[in-house]
Structure 1
Amino acid sequence: MTAAGRFVRVDGVPLHVVVEGRGPVVVLSTGLAMAWFDWDRVAAPLVAAGRTVVRFDRPGHGLSGPAAVAPSAAGEARRIAGLLDALGPPGRVGVAGHSLAGFHAEAFARLYPERTAGVVLVDASVEETPGALLPAGLRTGAARALGRALTAAGLPAALGPAARRLAVRASRAGGGDPAARDLVRRCYRTGRVWRGALLENSRYPDMAAEVAALRRTHPLPAAAPLTVLAGYDGSTRGPALRWLARQAALADLLGARFEVAAPAGHLVMLDRPDQVARAVQRA
């Protein structure tokens, strides 16, 4: 059962945050359209190992308030820093980012090296040549309009929980969605979450380009270990092997430790939570 949370206002947005345990601080940030409870299976062993675990929902995700502005990698790094300031944990922190949040975790380490103890990128997004066909403003406007239209049509309330369940099942090496049904309904029946996911997805190429630019100007902290943890379902098909190769290339680019979590789909924290927890502990 997931732990109870509270709300902390950062940059004017009420963020839902769950803090558990005692000891060195680690921050866990979910991928697109996921929620704090998707880290439940990772948080438990970390708390048992003597860590303070901070999980939060980005604007428009989970139980947090809606996004006031379009997201950016630097903005999400500042959000993590602002959340830590509000909570007041001492010293440097480890940061783990899954999927899209890998951009945010890396940006935090580059922009706040003095606050970073280590980074774990969990099946993180990789874009070797980031770019977009349409202007950012046009993509953002279209995402907002689509979100309003879907909400007005009642689709989140009618299909949100089922869509969440199907997406989780498709993103695992095996098994369904372990999240409590009441929490899934509470989050995914709301248009706020659908609008937040659409808005964040619309700025994906911009965040990829932003992180690529940060790599040229802001080095990673030398004293902070970095791990790239890639999910692999054991398939010998081309797409699975190409994804592993891209993750390995990302680790080489960042000078990171490279690990493979198998068998695991994209939601590594659900398929291999103990391996994710061990990687975070090293951070």
Structure 2
Amino acid sequence: MSFVRIGGVPHHVVVEGSGPVCVLSAGLSMSWFDWDPVVPLLAAHRTVVRFDRPGHGLSGPASVPPSAAGEAHRIAALLDALGLGDRPATVVGHSIAGFHAEAFARLHPSRAAGIVLVDSSIEEHARVPAAPALRTAVARGIGAALASMGAPTALGPLVRRATVRLSRTGGGDPAPADLVRRCYGTSRVLHGALLENTHYRAVAAELLVLRERFPLPDGVPVTVLAAYDGRGGRFGLHRLERQRALARQLGDARFYAVEPSGHLIMLDRPDAVARAVLAPGEDRVNPPPGYVTC
């Protein structure tokens, strides 16, 4: 566990294992330890890099609003700071970090060894909202007001636990209680989550522009993992179809429906994430139980 400074902000980073480089980036308000079940499956074969974006986990507070290009360049700068910049990396992005992983491959094609999108966020028709500076100010104001009332300490860990439980098909939050309090009991993480949520649609709209201007690099495998609880409900099937459409849009990327799994696939099915990194495409022939190709 260490910290590297990027853009003046200290970034918390954990590097484990050896071999080709793999970067794990979690979704909005998630932390490095949410990848804990996946790392043991990868570390014997990959140099696994986990980091917290500004305002997440143990990293310093965000100094500027997020952007798709900014997050792509952040991944590149992180690898440079770790002395891994000369080695192409497979970037695994969960939820909103799927935007960042795709942007990295488009803006740094020579540095991308692969992309794995873990139940990625999808916005097919996003537009940049008006008055971004005002939105940032409002988000910071709400964060300051909640912090002044003690909301992060009183409610942060509870909200984290409840969110994780609702985002899984079974089981609660496996994260250690001390780490949850250390991260989610702070106004820093509250501010980080509010800022990313406020600019979510702007980041999504920016990615749509990047798709038009910067093609994905040839020969770089792209894998889309879609969460599916197996219940067959309308909402679940609709989400599954949107993930399948994303795979088609990204040059007929490999698509796998991971069943049973909630949105936090890395907690429900860490084996599926590891397979997507270590053997992209091989499971099309003989997928293991609960790892369905479509």
CA distance in 1, matches of 2:139, 2:231: 34
- The match for 1:260 is 257
Shift of 1:44: 1.0
- CA deviation string 1:229-282 (max 9, x = no partner): 000011221110000000000000002110111100000000000111110123
- The match for 2:172 is 176
- The match for 2:20 is 24
CA distance in 1, matches of 2:14, 2:147: 28
Q: Does 1:145 align with 2:141?
A: yes
- The match for 1:80 is 75
CA distance in 2, matches of 1:37, 1:17: 11
**TM-score, length of structure 1 as denominator length:** 0.96
Q: Which amino acid aligns with 1:24?
A: P
**8 Å contact kept, 2:105–2:217:** yes
CA distance in 2, matches of 1:12, 1:133: 27
Q: Which amino acid aligns with 2:232?
A: T
- CA deviation string 1:59-78 (max 9, x = no partner): 00000000000010100011
SS at match of 2:50: strand
2:278 to 254, 274, 281: 281
- The match for 2:287 is none
2:90 to 86, 91, 94: 94
Q: Does 1:51 align with 2:27?
A: no
- CA deviation string 1:198-226 (max 9, x = no partner): 00111101110111000001000112100
Shift of 1:136: 1.8
1:160 to 145, 156, 173: 156
Q: Which amino acid aligns with 1:263?
A: P
CA distance in 2, matches of 1:22, 1:201: 34
- The match for 1:61 is 56
1:36 to 5, 12, 32: 32
Q: How does 1:7-22 map to 2 (within 5 A)?
A: 7-22=3-18
**TM-score, length of structure 2 as denominator length:** 0.93
Q: Which amino acid aligns with 2:70?
A: G
CA distance in 2, matches of 1:236, 1:52: 38
Q: Which amino acid aligns with 2:223?
A: T
Q: Which amino acid aligns with 1:79?
A: R
Shift of 1:26: 0.2
Shift of 1:132: 5.2
SS at match of 2:37: helix
1:111 to 107, 114, 117: 107
**8 Å contact kept, 2:129–2:202:** no
CA distance in 2, matches of 1:251, 1:138: 35
- CA deviation string 1:35-92 (max 9, x = no partner): 00000111110013x1100000000000000000001010001100000000011320
CA distance in 2, matches of 1:139, 1:235: 38
- Identity value in percent: 63
CA distance in 2, matches of 1:36, 1:154: 25
CA distance in 2, matches of 1:196, 1:151: 13
Q: Which amino acid aligns with 1:179?
A: A
Q: Which amino acid aligns with 2:88?
A: R
2:240 to 217, 235, 244: 244
Shift of 1:131: 2.2
CA distance in 2, matches of 1:210, 1:187: 29
SS at match of 1:95: strand
Alpha-carbon RMSD: 0.9
Q: Which amino acid aligns with 1:176?
A: G
CA distance in 2, matches of 1:253, 1:144: 35
Q: Which amino acid aligns with 1:208?
A: A
CA distance in 1, matches of 2:137, 2:259: 39
Runs of 4 or more off by more than 2 Å in structure 1? 131-135
Q: Which amino acid aligns with 1:280?
A: V
SS at match of 2:244: helix
For structure 1, which runs of at least 5 residues remain unmatched after alignment? none
CA distance in 2, matches of 1:46, 1:10: 26
- The match for 1:136 is 132
